[in-house]
Each structure stands twice: as C-alpha cells, then as structure tokens.
Structure 1
Amino acid sequence: MMVNKSGWTRTLGLALMFSAASAHAEQGEVPEGYRVAQQVLVGDGSVLEVLEDLRITPQMHADSWGSALDADSFDASADLENHPLLEAQARLIADSGEVLAQKDLGYPLATVEKAPINGLPAPAFFLTIDMTAPMGSYSGPATEVLVPAQNQLDPLRYLAETGEKRPLVLAETGKAAWKVVPANDSATESIQQVSSAPAPQGEDFVTTYRTYRYVDGQWQVASRQQPGYWENESEFPQPSAFP
C-alpha cells in the first residue's frame, strides 16, 4: 500500500503540533518574540524544535497552512506594520539544554515530524516550511529530509544523476507532489515525486517523475521526463510512471 504524504502529514502533524515533550519543556532559552510551537524527540535525548512568532496562535497556524498567512488574521494589537512577523526557526536541543544547531527558515510557518522511513543508520525527520504564496501554483510547503544524528539541521544530500550531491527537498505545490513508498525488496522505503513545468522552449509542459532510493549507504535518484501536464488536483501517478 502506498503512503500518501499529503494525507498523513497533516493528520500526524496536527496531532503533534504544539505539543511539547514534557521532559524537555524547559530546555533552551526561547528567543524574544518567539514561542515553542513544536517539539519532537530525536531518540538520543535531543529534541527538534520549531519556533514561531508568538502572535501566531495554534489555530491560526492550522487555518493558514498551505494558503499563505493572511495579515487580516491578526488584530491591530499585533502591530505588523512596525513589527513584521518573525520567520520560523528550527533548533536541535541537547538533553543538557545546549542548543546544538539553529537556523532561520525564511517563512513564518513550519512543522517537524518523524519520517516513516526505516533501515537508515539514524532516524530521519521531515522539516516542512510553508512557502505558499498568496497567488500562483508553483509555491507551497517544501519538506527537507533531516538526519539530526548525522547532519544536525542540514538537509540530507542525495546523489544526483549528474554525480553532484544535492539537498533532498520535496515540494508540494499546485504542480508537484510526493509520496513515501513502502519497501518491497529492500529494507528502506523510497520516495516518489512528480512535478510539471513549462518546457524549455515553446508553450508546452513537461512532467518529471523522480524516485529517491537509499542504495549502498546513500540516497540516489532516478528520473524520467515526458511531454504533458500534471496538477495536484489529479490523482497521484501510477507506480509504473516512475523509474
């Protein structure tokens, strides 16, 4: 059975959202203007945190996710004109309370959750940053695959077909989607992604199908393209479409 990332991410994400790991609730001094929106245990005693502007309530986060945070959601006391919204931050906190890594995420909303991917040397997590713009179909949540025990808050890198190492970031937009696919003949799940974009020349579209697999100790990608158009309102492509 194929796992639909879009479905389980919102279900699992909302279930975890704004709940703190009680044993670590007091860890790490929270920067001024922020609140701890989410905490997820990594497994080695450390914690992944998402910090958001304290003016963004949990309900506002849920209502705005995937549709762009609207200034009309705030009342006058928020004073956005003089104090613009702070961008979300991700932090990795040690069991001792030490901040091991911290980074700005560039947008106000983000979530973190354990990735349903087995067979890796260390647990993987999905850090999703909501990059949705008010208009257009090429923006939306972008998910970085993290392995904190190895790379802290740097995205996992995969081996591209060109031989380059690139960050593993998965887009969910009006013209892109992805899924985690259960393992068949291996111990590790793979990831399929589909995306459409205008062809380099002319007015036609081209659709790209990618499969990310964990092979010989590293993530690799295989891809193929074909003329045509795919949008997120359609059903996710059949497995046979992916290399």
Structure 2
Amino acid sequence: MRRLWPLLLLPTVAVGAGLEQRQCFPAQSFKLCLYQDAGAQGLDDASDGDDERKPPLAQAELRIYDSQGGQLSRLRVGRLSKLERTRLSDGGKPVFLLEENHGAGFGSYSGVEARPFTVGEHGLVFVQPPRRDAAKPFVMARALKSDWRETRGGFLLLSCAPDFPASGQWDGQAFRVRYGRLKLQDGRWLLTERSERGFWENEGDFPAERLFPK
C-alpha cells in the first residue's frame, strides 16, 4: 500500500517567504526541490530547529515542478529536512527519501526519521507497507538504538527495545533486537520482520545482512 499526498494547486501569489532552495532533483517529467529557512544553514544536525530563535525557523517545503518549470504542488515538512535519491526505482520512478530531524540531542529513540516515496501523477506517494496503520506514516529511524541501510531491492531495518515480560516487572537487563527487510517486489512494498533476545546500539557495527529476513 502506498500513501498518496494529493496534488495541491497553489495560488499565484508568493508562498514560503524566507525559504531558500537547498536541494533539487530533476527527472524526466518533473523536478523535486527542497526549500528551507535561510536561518537553518549551518545548524548542527543534532538540533531539530525548535530552539529559542526569535522568530523561530519556518517549516521547510517540498515542491514539485513540471517539465516547464511550473509549480504543481508543495508539502510542508520538518525544519531541518533533507532529500536523498536512492538507487531504487518503482516502475521506472526514482525512489527518494525524505529525512526529517526530530533529534533532541539525547535519548535512545530520538533522531532522524526517513520516509521513502516516489512522485506520482497526483503528488507524493509515500511507502506504507501492508497491515500497517494508515494513520501512522511509515518511517525508518536512525537513533542510538535504531538504524537502517539501503540494500539491493530495498532497505534493512534494525531496532532494539526493552523485552518486557508478559507479567511482573522488567528487570532492566532484557532487550530484544528486531530485524526487518523492506523490499520492492512486483510493484509492491513488502515488510518482513523477526526478533530475538539481544542488545544493539549504533556505536557498534551494523549486523550482517544474513541476520535479516529474506
């Protein structure tokens, strides 16, 4: 299943005042660009942009342009967002990553969230694997106890969390590592996962691919 962000027709007046173009990816039928607050340049990646700046940083925007340069749509995203083009393609359409920084500078699960997507005829199409709550966007997290890697045909996903018992109190020592593989197969994104007792943090090496589901 893919989540579709519908096409947003824009008025002719200027929008996103104070935003500057940071990244741009041209394709055959469109151009995808990220615009960001001019004050965001040079900020540390550990910050999410929600500091005590006055005025605060404006939200960044993803904008889609047609082959003639006309602006078709836009989507407001996190203040310190980034775009990446992966090596993957979905039916000939390049797969991009929207990376939004939600890091607080501390905490095991605070970090950068990446969302794979393509650009369709009617807007942005974000990946949403089957049997996932459509109201909760699918993200790939990179933090102290989570990470991911691009691989042939998809992504390897890794996370570590406390292994709480069915009854009684957690002993503070038991953890469980979850291994996931998100892959594009016959035009569909499929997510397979498995977990086992263990412990992992991103200060160590990323596990070998053989440990992940096929």
Bin for the TM-score computed over the shorter chain: 0.7 to 0.9
Residue 75 of structure 2 corresponds to residue 103 of structure 1 = yes
1:1-243 equivalences under 5 Å are: 29=14, 31-44=16-29, 46-57=30-41, 60-61=42-43, 64-65=44-45, 67-68=46-47, 80-81=53-54, 83-105=55-77, 107-118=78-89, 120-149=91-120, 152-160=123-131, 167-182=137-152, 189-201=153-165, 202=170, 203=172, 204-243=174-213
Structure 1 residues 49 and 70, CA, compared in 2 at 3 Å: closer, same or farther?
Answer: closer
- Bigger helix fraction: 1
Segments of structure 1 that go 5 or more residues without pairing to the other structure are 1-27, 73-78, 183-188
Q: Which has the larger share of strand?
A: 2
CA–CA distance in structure 2, aligned partners of residues 93 and 216 of structure 1? 29
Percent of residue pairs identical: 24
Q: Separation in 1 of the partners of 2:164 and 2:125? A: 31
3-state SS of 1:240 partner? helix
- TM-score normalized by the length of structure 1: 0.71
Distance (Å, rounded) in 2 between the aligned partners of 1:31 and 1:119: 30
Greater shift in the superposed pair: 231-240 or 151-160: 151-160
- Superposition TM-score, scaled by structure 2 size: 0.79
Distance 1:112 1:223, change over 3 A: same
For structure 2, the 5+ residue unaligned runs are: 1-12
Pairwise CA RMSD: 2.5
Call closer, same or farther: CA 1:98–1:212 in 2, change over 3 Å: same
